[in-house]
Chain A
Amino acid sequence: QLQLQESGPGLVKASETLSLTCNVSGGSINRNIYYWAWIRQPPGKSLEWLASIYYSGISYSNPSLKGRVTISLDSSKNQISLKVNSVTATDTALYYCARQWDVAVVGPEAPFDHWGQGTLVTVSS
C-alpha cells in the first residue's frame, strides 16, 4: 500500500526558506510512469499546485510562485523535497505531496491519485 508522509518545521519566519520532505513508502519513486508533486491549501482557500517532478529530475513549477519554488527528489531515500524561499504570510498553508499517474499520460498534467495527509506550515512575522 503506497503511503506518502510529509514532514517539515511547522513554523517558519517570514523571509526565510521553507523546507519540506515527503517520505514515500510502499513503492519506489524511481519509476518512469509517475510524476510526484506538491500541492498546498491555504486556510479557507482552494488547492494550489506548486510543482511536479519526474524520476529523471525533470521538473515543472507553478509560474505564479515566480521562481520561489524548488522541487527535488532523492531516490536513495525515496523522498521528494520542496523548498519555498522568501516566504510571507500568504505561504501559510497545509502542504500535501502527491503521486501523479494516468495510464495514458506521463506528465505533470496527470491526475493526483495518491496523497499524503498533509503538513501545516505557518509563516510568522
Chain B
Amino acid sequence: QSVLTQPPSASGTPGQTVTISCSGSRSIIGTNFVSWYQRVPGTAPKLLVYSTNKRPSGVSDRFSGSKSGTSASLAIRGLRSDDEADYYCAAWDDSLTGRVVFGGGTKLTVL
C-alpha cells in the first residue's frame, strides 16, 4: 500500500486530455512539492514535472502539474500513442525522520 494514492489505470484516445491524480496527506503533498515520472517499460524513469508545476528542459508542454490541498494532478494534453506508459508521483514526507514517497503508479493506455 503506497503512501500516495494514484488510480491504477487511466486511458484516453489520441488528442484527448487525460488527468492522473495523486492523493496524500498534509505532511506530504500538503506541505511539499510534487514530482511526476514517466516510465516506459524497459526504460529508465523520466522526470516530467518537478516543484509541482515545473517542467525540465526538453519535456513537452503537453505535460502539466498542479496541486490543491493534499492532492496533486498530472495533465497530459493532446494524448499521443507514445504517451502509453506508467506514471508515478513522488513527494517528501515530513513525518518521522523524513523520506521520499512514491505513488503506486498509474498505467496509461492510449486507445
Chain A positions within 8 Å of B, measured between CB atoms, are: 37, 46-49, 52, 60, 62-64, 96, 102, 104-105, 108-109, 111-113, 115-118
Annotate B1-12 by CB proximity to A: 1 below 8 A, 0 otherwise. 010000000000
Give the total number of A-B pairs whose CB atoms are below 8 A apart: 66
For B99, give the chain A residue with the smallest CB separation.
A62
CA distance A115 to B96 in the complex (A): 27
Please, how many angstroms separate the alpha-carbon atoms of A105 and B34 in the complex? 13
CA distance A108 to B33 in the complex (A): 12
* Complex contacts, B98 vs chain A, CB 8 Å: 60, 108-109
A31, B39: Cα distance in complex, Å? 28
Q: A63 and B33 in contact (CB under 8 A), knowing A48-B102, A96-B45?
A: no
Not counting A63-B96, A108-B92, a sample of 6 additional A-B residue pairs whose C-beta atoms are within 8 angstroms of each other reads A37-B100, A46-B105, A49-B101, A62-B99, A111-B47, A115-B46
Residue of A with least CB distance to B6? A46
Contact B99 A49 (CB under 8 A): yes
Q: For the complex, what is the distance from the CA of A62 to the CA of B102, rounded to whole Å?
A: 12
Q: How far is the CB of A104 from chain B (nearest CB, A)?
A: 7
A60 and B99 alpha carbons, distance in the complex (Å):
8
Contact across chains for A49 and B100 when beta carbons are under 8 A apart: yes
